Amino acid sequence: MKSIDRARAFTLFGVLYLTANAAIAQQADPLPSWNDGASKSAIIAFVESVTTEGSAGFVRPAERIAVFDNDGTLWAEQPVYFQGLFAIDRIKKLAPEHPEWETTEPYKSAIAGDMKGLMATGKEGLLKVIAASHANITADKFAASVREWLRTARHPQTGKPYAQMVYRPMRELLDYLRSKGFKTFIVSGGGIDFMRVFAERVYGVPPEQVIGSTIDAEFEMRDGVPTILKTGKLVLVDDNVGKPVGIYRHIGRRPIFAAGNSDGDLQMLQYTTIPRSADDKAPSFGLIVHHTDADREWAYDRDSHIGKLDKALDEAPQRGWTVVDMKADWKTVFAQ
């Protein structure tokens, strides 16, 4: 009798356990760092709709492609794009090997940390900064330089390591979408090889799902070792009209969810959400992170030199895009 009771008890326990689990899963808040409100409700309603079999808007898992901008959408971007700060730090580090930089622009301004002087060197100057910090280096050595920088560098205003300036609510959104069968991609104006160093650890996005501005590379056998060398030629500027091109090149199908924070994301939002024809009823979701919180983060939009949000903000109501008010919608801002 004892063993029979045990079998019965196990069966009962099993049923209770499964039931309790299902109930918890249904009730648990998938976005705990988001305040209840229109933004959170709209996200959850969309995700439920496209993932509920039999619903009119059901989307099969293979088509559940979600694309996220990085700077200003997944992590902060003030006072200047973090990759720019990496480039300057890298030039400072390499300066001893290039004594001529002390008297030559744009290196001189970069070494002095003179952002105004650096900006004054224009597009040509910035391309030289990118070349000096990102090119003529093997892929492995470049990745090592980014890893080292992420480990040691601190944000000039918050004093945090950059990987801690990720937005917790957006990290939750990435996790939530993945738990519902979405494949999440980063589609950023930032450098593809720069982001790939931390995207898997920090966002749970593997390198093959990171799309960004790209400089060319070459393959060679170097002393018998297969080597990728990063060269300076730009092959994709993954910003503005370049974002749908990057999506087409790397993903090859239209996303159903896009999140951005600036006019650089306008075309990605259009590409994701605007119907192809009168018959096109494919569901889609557009999200804009609006930086409204000068206390916990920064407040900026139409007049900002970084992350300018103007046209996309005007177009949002007409397109039905959800504009996230960082101050009102987010309980917590940073990951840590």
In whole angstroms, how close is the CB of 194 to a copy of itself at the nearest point?
11
CA distances for 25 relative to 6, 15, 18, 29, 264, angstroms: 28, 15, 10, 9, 37
Of the pair 160, 178, the CB lying nearest a copy of itself is at: 178
In whole angstroms, how close is the CB of 65 to a copy of itself at the nearest point?
8
Residue with tokens 């910090």: 133
Of the pair 32, 207, the CB lying nearest a copy of itself is at: 207
Number of C-beta neighbours around residue 170 at 10 A: 24
Of the pair 100, 223, the CB lying nearest a copy of itself is at: 223
Q: Which long-range contacts (CB under 8 A, 24 or more apart) does 50-56 make?
A: 50/256, 50/283, 51/180, 51/181
* Residues lying near a copy of itself in the complex (CB under 8 A): 4, 7-8, 10-11, 62, 65, 139-140, 183, 192-193, 196, 200, 206-210, 214, 216-221, 224-226, 228, 235-236, 241-245, 248-253, 267, 270-271, 274-277
Element housing 225 (H / E): strand 225-236
DSSP string, 148-175: HHHHH---TTT---GGG-BBHHHHHHHH
In whole angstroms, how close is the CB of 230 to a copy of itself at the nearest point?
9
In whole angstroms, how close is the CB of 214 to a copy of itself at the nearest point?
6
Of the pair 125, 190, the CB lying nearest a copy of itself is at: 190
Give the 3-state secondary structure of residue 58: coil
Q: How many residues does the chain have?
A: 336
The separation between the first and the last C-alpha atoms of the chain, rounded to the nearest angstrom, is: 54
In whole angstroms, how close is the CB of 74 to a copy of itself at the nearest point?
17
Of the pair 56, 62, the CB lying nearest a copy of itself is at: 62
Of the pair 19, 157, the CB lying nearest a copy of itself is at: 19
Can you read off the two tokens belonging to residue 262? 């600036």
In whole angstroms, how close is the CB of 149 to a copy of itself at the nearest point?
18
